[in-house]
Amino acid sequence: MKIFKFGGASVKDAEGVKNVTSVLEKVGFRDTLIVVSAMGKTTNALEVIIKNYFEKSSQLHPSVQEVRKYHNQILQDLFTDEDHEAYFTVNAHFDDLEYFLRSNKSPNYNFVYDQIVSYGEIISTTIVSYYLNERGIKNTWLDVRNFIKTDTTYRDANVNWEQTQNLINKKIEKDELYITQGFLGSDSNNFTTTLGREGSDYTAAIFAYCLNAESVTIWKDVPGVLNADPRYFEETALLNQISYREAIELAFYGASVIHPKTLQPLQNKEIPLFVKSFINPLLPGTSVSKGADLEPQLPCYIIKKNQLLLSLSSLDFSFIMEEHISEIFALFHEHKLKVNLIQNSAISFSVCIEDKFHNFPDVKEILEQKFKIAFHENVSLYTIRHFDANATQIVETNKTVLLKQISRETLQIITKE
């Protein structure tokens, strides 16, 4: 079986949904499972609903209606008959969302987040599934929450692999076409969980691992894995082939084209990964597979924006020792602060962290009781794999360098614009 993943950009409007159909007609869809993300920026719009639910109740209904309107326009562009079943099913999903907003009693932000944000994927796959059937591409819609089982770590759930594999192998049959949601799972009480932002790639890898898939293809709006993000670098080059190891390194450092969790299950079973263009689906794209000789022969640039550079030093000029570092990391873990770079000296300890859950103020208050603190907000972390002098100059030009760290193959630079 082949696994295809289509992200939000590929289904952002009716033309995108039609193009997905065209891609399947060109490359084939027999014995395939398709994973689809929420449409366009729907996840962001649902996050506004969540914010309004907790903070601005007067704006809650209008924000829900905005998401309804967006999807209804896509329905109208795809199905001229407004009595089509797709309208009723999508409206039923929105009714379920509004019922949850009225009836929920849990004050747990992360729990509420997962229950609400999941509707993006549920609704997008519903629309795509109906349209494929309309175009004669018979498919079976699956609720991924009945297959991927997780713990209760809402917003960043851990997969129960044994239970997930049993459920997938019991229900998925060969030679069929299936469509399901990325990013989602469910816990032992069948409450929705999510696998972390941009987790649809990971969903594709989970199904591939459990089904011993032939391959995974991630369909993007770029021709494959590039050596730099074209949003930030003028000149980019396609990496035709890279190893699992190199792809894992790139993903670890923040390359947005592949989700960091995606590669390990694929590598464990040596399932090839392809990154291809949904604009030009017959082009070869990038292949990721086993092979130490598949290292890029040019610098690869990765940038992470909106980082926080935190420096800690002891109040009495004593050494920062292992017990201090252990305590600091336990605090980061508890508050879900992701550490992207570490540098320490005898009396200071610096980290570049990502505060995606906005927990740093609480952590800062705790740390200030034991350490002297200095920090820079909104810094950028540049990582250059296979760096050279020219690549370093490209990154450093017209920027203030706050920290630089060099290893054999990788250079990391923290800058303030």
Tokens read off for 306: 């909106």
Determine if residue 121 is labeled as part of a ligand binding site: yes
Determine if residue 7 is labeled as part of a ligand binding site: yes
Pick from 229, 201, 218: nearest CA to 10: 218
Tokens read off for 30: 């027999």
Give residue 373's identity as a one-letter amino acid code: I
Which residue matches tokens 């550079």? 309
For residue 394, the SS3 value is helix
Pick from 416, 148, 219, 413: nearest CA to 306: 416
Determine if residue 5 is labeled as part of a ligand binding site: yes
Question: What is the CA angle 351-354-360, rounded to 5?
Answer: 85
| Alpha-carbon gap, residue 28 to 21, rounded angstroms | 10
Determine if residue 417 is labeled as part of a ligand binding site: no
Determine if residue 43 is labeled as part of a ligand binding site: yes
Q: Could you tell me if 309 and 382 are in contact, meaning their C-beta atoms sit under 8 angstroms apart?
A: no
Determine if residue 69 is labeled as part of a ligand binding site: no
Question: What is the CA angle 199-204-209, rounded to 5?
Answer: 120
Determine how many CB atoms are found less than 10 A away from the CB of residue 143. Answer: 13
| Alpha-carbon gap, residue 181 to 184, rounded angstroms | 7
Pick from 374, 37, 21: nearest CA to 201: 37
Tokens read off for 186: 């469910």
Number of H helices, E strands in the chain: 13, 16
Annotated binding site for substrate: 43, 121
Q: Which residues are annotated as a binding site for ATP?
A: 5-8, 231
Binding residues: 5-8, 43, 121, 231
